[in-house]
Chains A and B, each alone.
Chain A
């Protein structure tokens, strides 16, 4: 069974602090995505990484895909209250059927 483990599970920080969220697996994936979900809504895609070692930036968010395509990280610089939400990583299996598995989630709260 393929699993995506996220850490930490919960994170409460002050506005302006930096943070990193991790997504780890023992399996290799063809691509990995990060989503943010707000209460009462469906997840919304932040980024997709495909190549091992790839780094993508989205304003204050930096995403990295591990060289072996088994893990990923999300780094937020100078967090703001608007960053509050549930962050989910999701990976596409390599079987070619486009099945996705989701990580366990990291619930972030940024205090003003």
Chain B
């Protein structure tokens, strides 16, 4: 199993551009999460999903959108990128209710200039 994979690893965007961060897991996990991590800080939850077709907001959802059309994929869309969105983005998954360990992807480092 590849676990949780994320693409791209690095990206530089200009202010106002849009992009989609890809996240795929091959563990048949039901719950998926998107976090952002600013330098030297903990992780903040952006959006999460408890299954295909179901998504909900986390702590910092403004400026982002998600969709969950399949169990495997959970893309994160940035519309009108702003410098405040410069961060490292992590995708994670857990099997389901009662399973505590989150499996994290390697992250996407995004810079908006």
Task: Return the CB mask of B70-113 against A: 1 if under 8 Å, else 0.
Answer: 00000000000000000000101010010011101111000000
**Cβ-defined contact, A98 with B97, below 8 A:** yes
Complex formed: what's the CA distance from A4 to B43 in Å?
Answer: 11
Decide if B100 touches A104 in the complex (CB within 8 Å).
no
Number of CB contacts from chain A to chain B under 8 A: 61
**Residues A98 and B50 in contact, CB atoms below 8 Å apart:** yes
Smallest beta-carbon distance A50→chain B, Å:
8
**B94 pairs with A104, CB closer than 8 A:** no
Interface size on B, as a range, is 20 to 34
Contact between B40 and A107, CB atoms less than 8 A apart: yes
Q: Does the CB pair B94–A42 fall under 8 Å?
A: no
Q: Is the CB of A104 within 8 A of B45?
A: no
Assess whether B45 is in contact with A101, with CB atoms less than 8 Å apart.
yes
Question: Which single residue of chain B is at the shortest CB-CB distance from A32?
Answer: B100
Find out whether the CB atom of B104 lies under 8 angstroms from the CB atom of A44: yes
A residues in contact with B45, CB < 8 Å: 99-101
Are A42 and B100 in contact, CB atoms less than 8 angstroms apart?
A: no
Q: Which residues of A contact B94 (CB under 8 A)?
A: 98
15 contacts between A and B (CB under 8 A): A31-B100, A33-B101, A33-B102, A41-B107, A42-B104, A43-B102, A45-B100, A45-B101, A86-B40, A97-B56, A98-B48, A99-B45, A99-B58, A101-B59, A102-B44
